[in-house]
Amino acid sequence: MTSVTVIGLGPMGQAMAGAYLGGGYEVTVWNRTPAKADELVARGAKRAESVEEALTANDLVVLSLIDYDAMDGVLAQAPEAALAGRTLANLTSDTPDRARQAAAWLAGRGAVQITGGVLVPPPGIGTPGASSYYSGPEEAVEAHRPALEVLTGIEYLGEDHGLAALYYQIGMDMFWTALSGYLHGQAVAEANGISAEDFLPHAVKSMDLRYFQEFYAPRITAGDHEGTVDRISMGVASVEHVLHTARASGVDGSLPAAVLKVFRDGVAAGHGQDSLTSLIGVLKQT
């Protein structure tokens, strides 16, 4: 199978459609703003004039939209019969529950959803080492494996349509929190005359968390939160210093203040002498 439809031509959809064209696929594209397809059409893609035409052009339809509300709005523009027999690789970000609901809705109209979560930014599409989470019917994933692997490698998680969305959102939880921390730290650096490039090697060292993840994971699994190496009370003192430094630099302190609140909640719950990992229980109860 060397033909595919891509619906949604933001930066990610553009990269996906481009990867298919580069791989010799016949590519049909549709976007709410038709002009976004111009460059792809110049490279050989076919511009669908309607959502119905885009859906019926190929058995495999790749969706790259902002969220499932946007997907609902797009699919509502076509008759339900246009979905029959199609496999929709839904690479749109949303919650696990929305992924399950969408899969059931599509199944009721004769279509199969493969839920995906892409783990690279648009420039990473089609590059070695890129990967995506997938869940849903394994036979559907395998049937379209060659086409999906044009975009990224496949990390198949299971039949539950919500699994790919769940793993993806957990990753985004960590990603956005960490990236926000980097930006906040850089704001403090710049407020003190330190450029991003000058601080870069120090930022990379500070944000390399692999040691801590590998140290903590087995202890978390075992329920071992003994404060033999680190303690929440130590974390409270440390984050207080961070907060004071930020404010003294004229930088908004709401981000470290939010972290400090979580640490103080841990102390209030009686975990001051326990490891930072005991905050997992505190977070799950709030």
286: confidence class by pLDDT, cuts 50, 70, 90 = low
Specify the pLDDT at position 48.
98
Specify the pLDDT at position 97.
97
Q: How far apart are CA 89 and CA 111, in angstroms?
A: 11
Specify the pLDDT at position 220.
96
CA distances from 28 to 52, 123, 146 (A): 12, 21, 17
Residues 7 and 34: beta-carbon distance below 8 Å:
no
Residue 56 has pLDDT above 90, yes or no: yes
Give every CB contact of residue 50 below 8 A, 6+ residues apart in sequence.
30, 77, 78
245: confidence class by pLDDT, cuts 50, 70, 90 = very high
Would you call 75 helix, strand, or coil by DSSP?
A: helix
Strands 46-47 and 26-30: parallel
Give every CB contact of residue 120 below 8 A, 6+ residues apart in sequence.
127, 130, 131, 132, 152
- From the number of C-beta atoms within 10 Å of its C-beta (0-12, 13-18, 19+), residue 241 rates as exposed
1: confidence class by pLDDT, cuts 50, 70, 90 = low
Q: Following CA atoms 215, 221, 283, 259 in sequence, which dihedral angle do they give, to the nearest 10 degrees?
A: 0
Q: Indicate if the alpha-carbon torsion angle 9, 86, 22, 42 is positive or negative.
A: negative
Q: Is the pTM of this model over 0.85?
A: yes
Residue 236 backbone class (left: φ over 0; alpha: ψ -120 to 50; beta: rest): alpha
Domains and CATH numbers, the chain: 3-159 (3.40.50.720), 167-285 (1.10.1040.10)
What is the DSSP code (8-state) at residue 164?
A: H
Give every CB contact of residue 180 below 8 A, 6+ residues apart in sequence.
255
Average pLDDT over residues 24-48: 97
38: confidence class by pLDDT, cuts 50, 70, 90 = very high
What are the pLDDT digits (tens) for 98-153?
999 999 999 999 999 999 999 999 999 999 999 999 999 999 999 999 999 999 99
167: confidence class by pLDDT, cuts 50, 70, 90 = very high
Specify the pLDDT at position 285.
77
